[in-house]
Structure 1
Amino acid sequence: MAIDAGEVLASPSSHLRRQDGEAIRQYYVAVDRLQFKMETLVDLLDVIGRRSSLPVILCCSSRDELDAVCANISNLTYISLSSLYSDMAESERSLTIDRFRQATLDWNHKVNAPEELVEAKVEGQRSSVLVVTDACLPLIAAGESPFSARVLVNYELPTKKETYLRRISTCLPSDGVVINMVVGGEVVILKSIEEGCGIIIEEMPIHISEIL
Structure 2
Amino acid sequence: MDPTDTPLSTSPSHSNFSPQRHFYLAVDRLQFKMETLVDLLSMAGRRPSIPMVVCCSTRDELDSVCSAVSNLSYISIATLYSDLAEAERASILENFRQATMVWNKYGAEDKEKEEEEKPKSHMVIVTDSCLPLLGAGESPISARILINYELPTKKETYMRRMAACLAADGIVINMVVGGEVVTLKNIEESSGLVIAEMPIHVKAVYILLLVIFPVIFTTARFRGT
TM > 0.5 fold call = yes
Measure, in 1, the Cα distance between the counterparts of 2:191 and 2:24.
Answer: 15
Alignment of 1:54-69 (within 5 A): 54-69=50-65
Tell me, which stretches of 5 or more residues in structure 1 are unaligned?
Answer: 1-10
Choose the corresponding residue for 1:110, options 103, 106, 109: 106
TM-score, normalised to structure 1, is: 0.88
Distance apart, 1:72 and its partner CA: 0.7
Aligned partner of 1:177: which letter?
I
Q: Is the 8 A contact 2:80 2:124 kept in 1?
A: yes
- For 1:211, the equivalent position in structure 2 comes to 210
Superposition pairs of residues 70-85 of structure 1, within 5 angstroms? 70-85=66-81
Q: Deviations over 1:28-68 (max 9, x none)?
A: 11011111110010111011111111100000001000001
4+ runs deviating over 6 angstroms? none
Tell me the equivalent position of 2:223: none
Partner of residue 85, structure 2: 89
Which residue number in structure 2 is paired with residue 149 of structure 1?
143
Distance 1:178 1:15, change over 3 A: farther
Q: Deviations over 1:101-147 (max 9, x none)?
A: 11111001111234444444xx3211111100011111222222110
Q: Is 1:173 matched up with 2:167?
A: yes
User: Which of the residues 177, 201, 206 maps onto 2:195?
Assistant: 201
| RMSD of aligned Cα (Å) | 1.5
Letter in 2 for 1:36: F
Amino acid paired to 2:84: M
In structure 1, what is the Cα distance between the partners aligned to 2:157 and 2:180?
15
Aligned to 2:119: 125
State how far apart, in whole Å, the 2-side matches of 1:100 and 1:111 are.
Answer: 16
Amino acid at match of 1:155: Y
| TM-score normalised over the length of structure 2 | 0.83
Aligned to 1:5: none
Contact 2:11 2:196 in 1 (8 A): no
Q: Which moved more, 1:95-104 or 1:152-161?
A: 95-104
Q: What is the alpha-carbon distance in structure 2 between the residues aligned to residue 16 and residue 37 of structure 1? A: 28
CA deviations 1:79-118 (Å, max 9, x no partner) are 1111000110111111111111111110011112344444
Taking only the aligned residue pairs, the percentage that are identical comes to 58
Cα separation, partners in 2 of 1:179 and 1:171, compared to 1, 3 Å: same
**Are 2:81 and 2:127, in contact at CA under 8 Å, matched by a contact in 1?**
yes
Paired residue secondary structure (1:95): helix
Given the alignment, which residue of 130, 140, 143 partners 1:136? 130
> 1:38: which partner in 2?
34
Identify the residue that residue 3 of structure 1 maps to in structure 2: none
